[in-house]
Amino acid sequence: MNHSEPLFDAAPWDVDADKLREECGIFGVIGPRDAAAITALGLHALQHRGQEAVGITSFDGHEFYSRRGIGHVAQNFSSAEALAELPGIMAAGHVRYSTTGGSGLRNVQPLFADLATGGFAIAHNGNISNAMHLKRDLVQKGAIFQSTSDTEVIIHLVATSRYPTLLDRFIDALRLVEGAYSLICMTPEGMIACRDPLGIRPLVMGRIGDTYVFASETVALDVIGAEFVREVEPGELIEVSLDGKLSTTRPFGNPAARPCIFEHVYFSRPDSVMGGESVYEVRKAIGRELAREALAEADIVIPVPDSGVPAALGYAQESGIPFELGIIRSHYVGRTFIQPSDGARNADVKRKHNANRAIVQGKRIVLIDDSIVRGTTSLKIVQMMRDAGAAEVHMRIASPPTEHSCFYGVDTPERSKLLAARMDVQAMAEFIQADSLAFVSIDGLYRAVGLQGREAKCPKFCDACFTGEYPTRLTDLGERDQPQLSLPVEKVA
Ligand code: AMP
């Protein structure tokens, strides 16, 4: 028997794996004649959520069609020929950061299977924290997996459920799953959109006339001209039939929601609205909190573009220190974070950012970025500012120290690689060679999203990357290694 194939590519709990994990965006539309073209457009607006692979599956009332590719949406779905392969009035799509292992296209979503109830396509944003556990069990019972994606577990659970209808099988399957999932699924009857009981990853619903649309972020609705209807509620399951009838259920009770706070800090596009708040306004508010908490004596405020821009504006407005573009970003390289090796990441920072020497020279500067993960970006940027003649460099970060890995679908490396897990703030300042370094407090971050501090014992978000308090079980981490849980341990059911 061959044991060389990993159960999953770079499972987050596999501390030895130096591979990157998944971050994703999903989109689905039911109703229009050109569903695949609309999906391609929607995915394009979600490209920041995953840049390494993309897939679309469509349904024309009889057959499912699928096309998947490595690379950006525009590289795979711009041509009329590509879209002609995807006829139908319903389509769902997915963008992701793929793992760098040899598994290639087979992990690219939507995943598809022919079940006893008919065809079933699934696009998933999030991460299932007991997927290894479930997969072992399924494999023991004879399931044959086609991919190393955790999402495929859901397909097998649906396939082997004893309930008669697809919907009951689907709910039955999800009761066994823990962790984060926003899902868009297609069956011959229509589309199903749902969010895990805590609503960790986002999902919104929009409408154009009789056409329903689901997407990870509101920006995808804007781009296709759809109106925002509402968020899919945490734990809600919405079905839209092919003739446009909508029904909704809440099979998982009503636990308090814990949406991911990092969506506000970094992940979502600033022109999206999340949890009723403009992401851009929240980021500016974080900057204002940061200025109140950690004012630096400086001549200018400089954002690390693009992710630090709104927070830097807030910092400048609150402090009265002028905002300047002291770093110019090339738009022709991807995000630094997704490169496969540290070496490549280092080179990429230089290709991506350049000092605006005329602005920086001789000045005491406050540099604002949204987060420090490994510290690679900050170290290079501080150095770049000094090379350009900055007199002093004060780094301010618009999130608390990222001390803990994410097991819910945001790509953070294993703990040992997180700078804040290895050092205190003073040591981090020395590491990145800044004259000073400060992070916004967790209470400051909560105030920026409109809540009075973190309110001991009842956080309104999943903030595990900052606090280490994970809102679900992390079964695959092993029974003995469970980090602190911030909710009473109960199965997601
Ligand atoms: P690092 O160089 O590892 O410290 O990465 C920090 C930079 O990566 C910051 O400028 C962030 O804007 C960006 N970043 C933070 N978290 C993520 C993430 N999960 N995926 C991609 N980029 C990220």
Ligand 1 atom showing the smallest separation from residue 370 Cα: 12
How many angstroms is it from 267 CA to the middle of ligand 1? 9
- At residue 405, does pLDDT exceed 80? yes
Give the pLDDT confidence of 449-493 residue by residue, as tens digits: 988 767 655 679 999 999 999 999 999 987 545 666 554 333 322
How many angstroms is it from 369 CA to the middle of ligand 1? 9
- At residue 342, does pLDDT exceed 90? no
Mean pLDDT of the region 201-229: 97
Of all protein residues, the one whose alpha carbon is nearest to atom 21 of ligand 1 is 337
**Residue 396 CB–ligand 1 contact under 6 Å:** no
- The per-residue pLDDT for 104 is 74
Give the pLDDT confidence of 303-326 residue by residue, as tens digits: 999 999 999 999 999 999 999 999
Of all protein residues, the one whose alpha carbon is nearest to atom 3 of ligand 1 is 374
**Residue 369 CB–ligand 1 contact under 6 Å:** yes
How many angstroms is it from 379 CA to the middle of ligand 1? 13
**Residue 370 CB–ligand 1 contact under 6 Å:** yes
How many angstroms is it from 439 CA to the middle of ligand 1? 15
**Residue 260 CB–ligand 1 contact under 6 Å:** no
- The per-residue pLDDT for 488 is 39
- How sure is the predictor about 412, in pLDDT bands with cuts at 50, 70 and 90? confident
How many angstroms is it from 370 CA to the middle of ligand 1? 8
Query: What percentage of residues in the chain have a pLDDT greater than 90?
Result: 80
- Least confident range of 2-11, 230-239, 406-415, 453-462: 2-11
- Select from 345, 371, 380 the residue to mutate for testing ligand 1; criterion: most ligand atoms less than 8 Å from CB: 371
Q: Which residues contact 130 (CB under 8 A, 6 or more apart)?
A: 176, 177, 178, 179, 473, 474, 475, 476
- At residue 340, does pLDDT exceed 60? no
Angle separating helix axes 376-387 and 425-432, nearest 10 degrees = 50
Map out the domains of the chain with their CATH numbers.
16-259 (3.60.20.10), 278-448 (3.40.50.2020)
- How sure is the predictor about 253, in pLDDT bands with cuts at 50, 70 and 90? confident
Ligand 1 atom showing the smallest separation from residue 373 Cα: 4
Q: Residue 451 is encoded by which pair of tokens?
A: 């809540």
- The per-residue pLDDT for 127 is 93
- Least confident range of 37-41, 331-335, 481-485: 481-485
Higher model confidence: residue 491 or residue 447? 447
- Select from 24, 264, 337 the residue to mutate for testing ligand 1; criterion: most ligand atoms less than 8 Å from CB: 337
Q: What is the value of pTM for the model shown?
A: 0.91
- At residue 70, does pLDDT exceed 50? yes
Torsion of CA 100, 105, 107, 110, to 10 degrees: 140
186 contacts 121 by C-beta, under 8 angstroms: yes
Give the pLDDT confidence of 144-183 residue by residue, as tens digits: 999 989 999 999 999 999 999 999 999 999 999 999 999 9
- At residue 380, does pLDDT exceed 80? yes
**Residue 366 CB–ligand 1 contact under 6 Å:** no
Of all protein residues, the one whose alpha carbon is nearest to atom 19 of ligand 1 is 411
Mean confidence (pLDDT) of the chain: 89
- At residue 7, does pLDDT exceed 70? no
Active-site residue list: 24
- At residue 441, does pLDDT exceed 70? yes
